[in-house]
Amino acid sequence: MYVTNSETGENVFAYISPVAVKDVGAINKSKRFNFNWAKEKGFNIYKLSVNGVPEPLGLMSLADRYDDLAIEIRLLALAKENIGTTRKYDRVAGCLIAFACKETFIAGYEGFVCLKSKTRLKKHYFNKYGLRPTNLYFVTEGVNSLKLIEEYYEN
């Protein structure tokens, strides 16, 4: 998996790892993310990192919705420096979403991932990642989830 340095165009190896509960306070104090991650302590929080950069590039909170045979992305956030046209690294959100897709196949959920989206990101999730809107969530499953894994996770 890799992210792309927007300044140099260089692809940089990236990896995803769990966030320890004890590290959530430091993440909140850093002010690099717009959410209070302490509210997510009861869920699985993951960070996307690259070697040589001590702070995470992005964070994601996942909930296993075993009754729905899906994994919900409860919260997905990029560090402030990775948002918008002047972002330092590209592909951060795609890598995190693809990780969630991979986790659904491991759980036997056939790629079913759901997330609630902010109004301004709905078109982006549809156009860039192929997530489809329902009444309450944006979803991906099956073939689209495999495509995201191949594009963002396995390359």
Question: Over the stretch 73-131, which tens digit does the pLDDT of each residue have?
Answer: 999 999 999 998 899 999 999 999 999 999 999 999 999 999 998 777 888 899 999 99
Task: Centre a 10 Å sphere on the Cβ of residue 151 and count the other Cβ atoms it contains.
Answer: 14
What's the confidence (pLDDT) of residue 75?
Answer: 95
Residue 118: its pLDDT value, please? 74
Quick one: pLDDT at residue 154? Answer: 85
CA atoms within 13 A on the CB side of 84: 4
Enter the pTM of the model: 0.95
For position 123, which CATH number holds?
3.40.630.30
The domain total for the chain is 1
pLDDT band per the 50, 70, 90 thresholds, residue 70: very high
Which residue, chain included where needed, has tokens 């959530």?
24
**SS3 call for 90:** strand
| pLDDT value, residue 43 | 95
pLDDT digits (tens, 9 = 90+) for 25-52: 899 999 899 888 999 989 999 999 999 8
- List the structure tokens of 117: 């989206």
Residue 122: which domain range?
2-153
Residue that wins the pLDDT comparison between 11 and 52:
11
Q: What is the pLDDT of residue 101?
A: 98
